[in-house]
Amino acid sequence: KAGVTQTPRYLIKTRGQQVTLSCSPISGHRSVSWYQQTPGQGLQFLFEYFSETQRNKGNFPGRFSGRQFSNSRSEMNVSTLELGDSALYLCASSLPGDIQYFGAGTRLSVL
């Protein structure tokens, strides 16, 4: 069974641009969660999608958004990038009430 796949693995953007990250969950998993990891703030929850609906949202500005498609694949978008958005973005998928399986992450650098 394939694991959680995140694309791209690395991304370099400049301030003010926008970016879209993609996550393909494990087959059969309908819950997808996104996390941001930075050296200063650690691992922080961004949002969770289940059956194409946002079920949970962390404390991030509206520049951070996401969506989930009918095949459970999810994307997250960050608009008007800031230097502080440089981070490792992790996606996780799970069955209801089960443990989360994480992808390898997308490392975003904002210059």
Partner 1 sequence: SQQGEEDPQALSIQEGENATMNCSYKTSINNLQWYRQNSGRGLVHLILIRSNEREKHSGRLRVTLDTSKKSSSLLITASRAADTASYFCATHEDYNQGGKLIFGQGTELSVKP
The residues of the shown chain that bind partner 1, judged by CB under 8 A, are 4, 31, 33, 35, 41-45, 48, 50, 55-56, 58-59, 88, 90, 92, 94, 97, 99-105, 107
By beta-carbon proximity to partner 1, the closer residue of 38 and 80 is: 38
Residue 103 to residue 29: CA distance in whole angstroms: 13
List Cα–Cα distances, 102 to 6, 32, 37, 46, 79, in angstroms: 9, 10, 13, 14, 24
To partner 1, the closest distance from the beta carbon of 16 in angstroms equals 26
Q: Which two tokens stand for residue 92?
A: 């996780």
By beta-carbon proximity to partner 1, the closer residue of 18 and 56 is: 56
